[in-house]
Structures are given as structure tokens and as C-alpha cells.
Structure 1
Amino acid sequence: MSEHHEIPIRVRYAETDRMGLLHHANYFVYFEMGRTELLRSRGVSYRDLEDSGYLLVIIDLGCKYRRPARYDDLLTLRTSVDRVTHVKIVHRYELFRDGELIAQGHSTLACIDREGRPQPLPALLRGRAVAGDPRPATGSS
């Protein structure tokens, strides 16, 4: 799927290490911001999903660091949905500084209920709605 969402992120001092570089763990915080804003751009919030009994948990997460980011760098995070299955969503992340790719990552989220059991993704996260069409998905997946 080529649909994606981009957000600007300014590296804050508190996110850096003693060398003045963006700490590696904060890339994952940025990825979460990207997922949240991608969903919000589709008219839904994580809070809405959770209030409806759908919980999305990370089951796989990774990042390849290509170039360091530093304090006060202005970055652009592009978040894409790579694949959607009956219970999972796979995202791809590309982090840029001045058009140069400095990191790329991925995550897989699984949908569970409040008891921790896998459950089907809600229709609004399957099919067309995830691919960028705001109309609700129809039929069974």
C-alpha cells in the first residue's frame, strides 16, 4: 500500500544522550506518534478503539539506524500501512532529515480484547479504511 502520513518532529534536548544524539529508544516513541497520527488522520483515535474494547499491542518492532539525529534537528516521519490481516497491522516508518533517510523501522500490532485474547480488527481498520479510503470497510475479511 502506498498510502502514508507524514508528521514533523523537532528533536528535543531531553531526547538526546551525552553525545547530543537522539537516543535510540526515542525512535520508537516517534514511531508511536506516527501510528497515532496516521490513525487520527483517518478520523479515529486510539482512545476510540480502546473505549470500544479493541486493544492494539506491539508483537514485533525494529529499527535500522542509518545516520544520527541531533538536538534541534527538524525531522519528517513518514508512517505507512504495509499489510493488514484479520488480526494484525504492519506499519513501516521512514525518518528523514532534509530529505535524507536517516532511519527506517517497522512494527506489527495485534488486536486483542480486554482479557488478552486475539480478536478480529474492527472493520474501520480493515480494507479500504486502512488504505486511505475514509469509507467504512464492507464485507468480511
Structure 2
Amino acid sequence: MRKDLPPIEPYERTAHYYETDRMGIIHHSNYIRWFEETRIHYLDKAGYPYSEMEKDGVMIPVLSAECNYKNAVRFDETVLIDLKITEFNGFKMTIDYVVKGKENGDVKATGRTRHFFVNSDFKPVRVKDKYPRVYEVFNSRKEEE
């Protein structure tokens, strides 16, 4: 990540009752939705909302999603979700997530999504040449190895 960019604060999310299962914890499927909400939050805070990106003709489909559950999240509990772009080459991208309890910082889950870029005709596209603004938003915040 470029040193001159301010960090993007984690996405804050309070668990809703309808997201719980019979055991009174958040159903596992909701974490994948929370990852999507976190990506939308990231783009908003990076100054290029997803709705604007789509208007410019770029979409970012999900190739795969995974989640590893560590500690249960319960109704009305607030979590913070951190996002890191761990791989980006202008054509494909990998994003890692860490879900932590806001109150005590315990790790609730970790996850990863993989994506690629397409234009409005759903054709794969390398964003560096055709969509430099998209390239800059992701490349500038990619985690250094």
C-alpha cells in the first residue's frame, strides 16, 4: 500500500436478529454477505463507489469465496471487518478479510474472496489500460509482500 494514503477504517456492522440461526448465532452464510458489504464500504472510502464504477462500465464478479469461523457472533453484537487486497494484477484480485468483535477484538472469522474484472458486456478486461482509475484504486492499496 502506498505510504501517502490514509488507512481505510474497518467496516462496522451490527448483527441483525434475522441473521441468526436456531442456535442464536449468526448463520454462516451471512459472513459472505458481510464481505460484500465490506468491499462496497472500501470503494466508498477509497473515493470510487461501486455504483460509479459500474456506470463507468466495470464490474467485479466473485470467482470464489471462503470463510473460516473462529468464534460465534450473536444478535446485536458489533463487529469490525478489515479488508486487505493481497493480490492484484489488473485482471484478477484476491481480498482477505478479518472479522473482529468491536468490544474485545477477538477474531470471529477470517475469509478470502477472489475476483476478476469485466466490462459491461461481461468480457474480461485488464483495467490498467482501459480503466486507469479502477487500476489505481486497487493497486495503490494492495498490500506489499
Give the TM-score, by structure 1 length: 0.85
Kindly report structure 1 stretches of 4+ aligned residues shifted beyond 4 Å: 1-4
What runs of 5+ residues in structure 1 fail to find an aligned partner?
A: 134-141
C-alpha distance in structure 2 between counterparts of 1:85 and 1:4, whole Å: 21
Query: How much has 1:105 moved relative to structure 2?
Result: 0.3
8 Å contact kept, 1:84–1:126: no
> Pairwise CA RMSD of aligned residues?
1.9
Query: How much has 1:91 moved relative to structure 2?
Result: 0.8
**Residues 123-138 of structure 1: pairs in structure 2 closer than 5 A:** 123-127=132-136, 129-130=137-138, 131-132=140-141
Match of 1:40 in 2: 44
Match of 1:100 in 2: 106
C-alpha distance in structure 2 between counterparts of 1:89 and 1:124, whole Å: 16
Match of 1:82 in 2: 86
Residues paired across the two proteins, number: 132
Measured against aligned partners, the alpha-carbon deviations of 1:43-80 in whole angstroms (never above 9, x if no partner) come to 11111111111111000111111111111111111111
8 Å contact kept, 1:60–1:107: yes
Match of 2:117 in 1: 111
Letter in 2 for 1:74: T
Letter in 2 for 1:93: Y
1:24 corresponds to 2:32:
no
Which structure features the higher share of strand residues? 1
C-alpha distance in structure 2 between counterparts of 1:125 and 1:63, whole Å: 26
Match of 2:76 in 1: 72
Query: How much has 1:7 moved relative to structure 2?
Result: 1.6
Identity %, equivalent residues = 23
What runs of 5+ residues in structure 2 fail to find an aligned partner?
A: none
Measured against aligned partners, the alpha-carbon deviations of 1:69-117 in whole angstroms (never above 9, x if no partner) come to 1111111111111121121221110000121111000111111122221
